[in-house]
Every structure is written in C-alpha cells, then in structure tokens.
Amino acid sequence: MISQAIKALLEANYQKIKTYDDFSELKRQIAKKYRVGMILSSDILKVAKKLLANKNISAKDKANLLLAIRLLRKRSIRTLSGIAPVAVLTKPYPCPGACAYCPKEVDVPKSYLSNEPAVMRAIGCSYDPYKQVISRLAALESNGHEPNKIEVIVIGGTWSYLPSNYKYWYILNCFKAINDFSKLKKVGLKNQSTDVLSVKKFLKTLKSPYKQNLSIIKLKNLLNQEQKTNEQAPYSLIGLTLETRPDYINDKELKEMRDLGATRVEIGVQALDDQILKLNKRGHDVATVARATKLLRDYGFKITYHLMPALPGATPKKDLEIFKKLFNNVNFQPDQIKFYPTVVTKGSLLYKWWQQKKYIPYTDKQLAKLIADCKAVVPEYVRIIRLIRDIPGESIVAGNKITNLRQILQQQGVKCRCIRCREAKNQPIKDEKLSIIKYQANNGTEYFINFESKDLKTLFGFCRLRISQDSEVAPALIRELHVYGELVPIGGLKKVQHSGLGKKLMLAAEKIAKQNKCATIAVIAGIGVRNYYKKLGYRKAGTYMVKSL
C-alpha cells in the first residue's frame, strides 16, 4: 500500500502545490485514502529519483517530480546559491600563531572545538579527506539535493603552515572522492534513502585510497590525473577554498594553491587596527593584510576576510570605523566577509583576561546594532557569508550566543544590499537588466558586472573582472563568474542556472577588456568548469583558462 500511496502522491496535480505545507497536506490526504500511517520523505525521494531516471518521462511529470524533490529537500538553503558547499577539516597540526582568543583543545585543530558540527563530522571520519567528502555528498543526496557542482572548503587552522606533502595528499583525495562518488553510489550508497544505518557502516569502511608517504612528485602527478578526470566527471569540483593567515601569503604559496586547484582564499584579518592586532597577539599588522590582498587579487583569487568585532581593545564605534575602512580604502575591498563576533571559550588566553575582568564582551544589544550598522554600508558587490560562527552555546563562557542573528535583523527591518541578501535563490528570471559597478582596488580597476531585476531587489548573476598591469597572469582577469538560483544539474529543469546569463556576463567582461586595450583575458576557473570556458573559446594555459582578444 505504501508504494501505491507514493505513486499516487507523485502523480497528483501539482498546480496548487506551492509550499512545503501544501505538499504536507497532500501527503496527509493520500495517506488517509490509502490507509497508511505515514509516508516517509526518504521513501518518496527514493521513488522520485528512480522515476526521473526514466528517459521517456514527460516534461509535465518531470516538472512535478522535481518540484516534489525540492519541497522535500532538507535545508534547501545549502544549494540555493547554485553550488553544493562541502566543508572538510584538516588534522590537528601546530599553528604559528598565539592569538589571545583562540581555544586550544587536545586532538582538535587550533581555534576549533570538538563539539562544533563540522569538527564532530571530521572526527567521525578520523580527519580523512576522502571519507569526509563522500559522507557529506551522501548526506546532501539523502536530503534531496543534487550536489553535481561542488565547492570544497578546507578549514582547520593555517593551511599554509601544513607540510606540502600533506597538502597535496589531502587535496588529491578530495578530488578522488568526488570522482569516485557516482561509482560508490551504485555500490554501497544505493540504499541511502531508506537504510541510514547501512550507509554509516559502509562509510566506516572507506579511507583515502592514496597514501600520504608518496613522494611530492608522485602526489603532484596523481593530482593532475584526478583533476583531468574531474573535468569530465558527473560530479564537478567547481571551486576550492583554502583558509590561511595574511602573513603566509606570498608568490610561492599562491602558485602552489593554484596547482592544487584553489579559486578562493579566506584570510584571518580580524581587525584593521594595529593596536588591536598587537594587543590580541595576532602576529601581523594591517600593512600585511594589504600586501596579501593585492597578491591574491593579482593572481585572480576570490578574497574572503574573517572579521572579529568586539576584540579586546575595540569599541562598537571603532569596529564600525574599521568596517567602513574595508570599502573606503583601496588597499582592501574584500569580495566576501565572515563576521565572527568575539566569544570567550575555555582554553584561551582571553578566558583568563575575562576571569580577571580585563575583558568585557559587548552586550547582545550592542552587537546587534553594530552588525546592523555594518550591513547598512556593505557595497552591492560584497557577500556577507556568515554573521555568527557555529560554536555551540554550552562552549561559550561569555559573549554572543544568538545563532540566528541574521534572521533577527531581517525581522527588525534592517536593510542590506549585500549579494547574499539579494541573490535569486529559486526565483525565475524576469525583467533582468545588465548593471556594471566600477571601483578601484590594489592598484587596479574592478568591474562588478551583474544581471539584476529592474526593481533592483534580485541578483541573478555576476562576473568579477579585474584590469591591472601588475598581474603576471593577464592584464584582464575574471576572478569569479556566478549565476545564482537553485542548483540545477546539467540537463535539469531550466531555472536561473543554465539560462545563458553566464555567457552574456562573459561577453560583457570581454568587451570591457577590449575597451581597456587588453590583449588577453584569463579566468581562474575551477577544475570542473574548464570545459565550459573551452566552449567560449578559452584554452588552458598553466592553471588558468586564457583567451586572446
């Protein structure tokens, strides 16, 4: 009877089904009609995916099935930005810093806590990169997502301080996991929708197929092979993010990051104030941040700043001044921001200062007002990725414990024009117009070329173009191309993605490059999207995709 009920549910009239509540009501009606107690979402997803695999499926039935999958999808926000983020953690390793605010816990990377969700997942996988990637992809698929376009985000301290052998081994096995995932689904993950226990048992048997004791030359050769495989793989690694300190950014490091396939770098800036940095024993100054930012930009990387308001030595007024400096000073201009308001945790020097009453955190009211004021001055070409770090409340001795600060500020009517607040999500393209924002950064000119709705409320896609004679890569560099909307697999139902916006944005960027008399233009392309750029006339040159103008 369950199978009949699911079949009836998926064949129902979906014209009036708009929300999850509508779908739940339909489920209740069909369960009552077929006299079944409950129809599990996992069972519906499994059947829906099997039906979608039928090549003779009609367009109407396909649309119904995709709508059902989307309504059943858990935490749909994960892929509404057009990609499936997969965060993996490196093993505990010594850190070159001695920051006052960082907790130190045994067998956990410095600055992380063992009860943070990402850390718990990594510990469960013994910090094995292969197992971490496979388990996250399996979890995304079991929740109804289609993670065909993947961004791997490597966290766990200072990446640049790790031994080169470990770094190449780690990324090699991340690529291997993505390339193997479709095959593993047919073997041990095929029952993932209904038998979670068997999947967990299967995942425990996995481990990185490539050994760490291989020579660096062997690791590099194997990585090149896996990268070439990924260019044609059903699951593509379209972006790789690495996390490091500004004082470890140099030409050698960035060339190695490009060999690995990195496209975005997150750096711990914390505060653009030398006194605050010195007091908190950060180990570098503001000038170092400016130098690192310029180097990253000239290599084409997308740049994310980690900022920590409420550090010892700061005040709400000073933090707001620091934030404004990010965008009114040409030496900075980050593309993305993560807000990590300072919290006191055991095992840090800051904890001792707090015990001695040498440090007093901001109140919730002070912090909420500060972030609201900061959001009000964020340019339209910047994305605020996070407002709060995912530290469990029980680990926070003092400081902010509000985890849904973004939602609270939205409910209070706080206005923000950042990318995340305007991205299309699953909205259809309608009345789009081309807009270009031009600004100066690090001895070059940046162009934020974007398609947005005529009412300026919705952002459908954008391209970041840099014109600079300082870059050794090319005088014109495309640092990012992103079309927003629900993640749609190649050949899937046409939404914001696969609608031709990417091609139009590229043509607009090439036109600007020609106007600036640039002979060539280069893209810092993720490995899995190289073929896309080949179709647009680009060819691989080193680790970039390049086109003659």
Question: What DSSP assignment string belongs to 344-365?
Answer: E-TTSHHHHHHHTTS--PPPHH
* 516 residue type, one letter: N
Specify whether 481 is located in the same domain as 444. yes
Please give the radius of gyration of the chain, using alpha carbons only, rounded to the nearest integer.
Answer: 24
Specify whether 448 is located in the same domain as 538. yes
Specify whether 468 is located in the same domain as 487. yes
For residues 85 and 386, is the Cβ–Cβ distance under 8 A?
A: no
Q: In terms of pLDDT, which residue wins out, 512 or 105?
A: 512
Q: Which residues of 433-458 are buried (b: 16+ CB within 10 A; e: fewer)?
A: eeeeeeeebbebebbbbbbbbeeeeb
Q: In terms of pLDDT, which residue wins out, 402 or 535?
A: 535
- pLDDT value at residue 257: 98
- pLDDT value at residue 24: 72
User: How many percent of the chain have pLDDT more than 70?
Assistant: 85
- pLDDT value at residue 195: 47
Of the candidate ranges 104-118, 122-136, 493-507, 524-538, the one whose mean pLDDT is the lowest: 493-507
Write phi, then psi, for 440 (nearest 5 degrees).
-95, 140
In a domain, 489, yes or no: yes
Range among 22-36, 51-65, 419-433, 466-480 with highest mean pLDDT value: 466-480
- pLDDT value at residue 280: 97
In a domain, 398, yes or no: yes
Residues 236, 151, 545: CA angle, nearest 5 degrees: 65
In a domain, 427, yes or no: no
Specify whether 84 is located in the same domain as 63. no
Measuring CA to CA, which residue among 288, 260, 91 is closest to residue 164? Answer: 260
Distance CA 183, CA 524 (A): 29
Of the candidate ranges 110-119, 239-248, 340-349, 397-406, the one whose mean pLDDT is the lowest: 397-406
State the pTM of this model.
0.86
Measuring CA to CA, which residue among 245, 244, 39 is closest to residue 153? Answer: 244
Specify whether 37 is located in the same domain as 82. no
Q: In terms of pLDDT, which residue wins out, 56 or 319?
A: 319
- Final residue of a structural domain among 40, 72, 104: 72
Distance (Å) of CA 455 to CA 418, 458, 497: 15, 8, 21
For residues 230 and 528, is the Cβ–Cβ distance under 8 A?
A: yes
> Is residue 170's pLDDT more than 80?
yes
In a domain, 23, yes or no: yes
What tokens does 111 get?
A: 């600055």
- pLDDT value at residue 77: 47
For residues 246 and 284, is the Cβ–Cβ distance under 8 A?
A: yes
Q: In terms of pLDDT, which residue wins out, 209 or 50?
A: 209
Q: What is the DSSP letter of 150?
A: E
Specify whether 239 is located in the same domain as 162. yes
In a domain, 249, yes or no: no
**Strand 539-541 and strand 432-440: pairing?**
unpaired
Q: H helices within 205-243, ranges in order? A: 216-230
- DSSP β-bridge partners for residue 336: 304, 383
Specify whether 401 is located in the same domain as 293. yes
- pLDDT value at residue 80: 52
Question: Whose structure tokens read 């995340």?
Answer: 420
Specify whether 374 is located in the same domain as 339. yes
Task: Give the range of the structural domain holding residue 67, as residue numbers without chain letter.
Answer: 2-72
Mapping DSSP onto H, E and C, the string for 102-133 reads: CCCCCCCCCCCCCCCHHHHHHHHCCCCHHHHH
Specify whether 181 is located in the same domain as 290. no
pLDDT mean across residues, the chain: 87
In a domain, 251, yes or no: no
In a domain, 371, yes or no: yes
Number of domains in the chain: 4
Specify whether 147 is located in the same domain as 261. no
Q: In terms of pLDDT, which residue wins out, 29 or 100?
A: 100
- Final residue of a structural domain among 214, 244, 274: 244
What tokens does 204 get?
A: 């425990």
Specify whether 324 is located in the same domain as 264. yes
Distance CA 183, CA 235 (A): 11
- pLDDT value at residue 81: 55
Q: In terms of pLDDT, which residue wins out, 38 or 4?
A: 4
Write phi, then psi, for 498 (nearest 5 degrees).
60, 30
> Is residue 90's pLDDT more than 70?
yes
Q: What is the mean pLDDT of residues 290-309?
A: 98
The DSSP code sequence of 253-277 is HHHHHHHHT--EEEEEEE-S-HHHH
For residues 299 and 332, is the Cβ–Cβ distance under 8 A?
A: no
- DSSP β-bridge partners for residue 220: none
Specify whether 201 is located in the same domain as 282. no
Residues 6+ positions from 113 with CB-CB distance below 8 Å: 103, 105, 119, 345, 391, 392, 395
CATH number, position 538: 3.40.630.30
Q: What is the mean pLDDT of residues 382-388?
A: 91
CATH number, position 342: 3.30.750.200
In a domain, 190, yes or no: yes
- Final residue of a structural domain among 404, 422, 440: 422
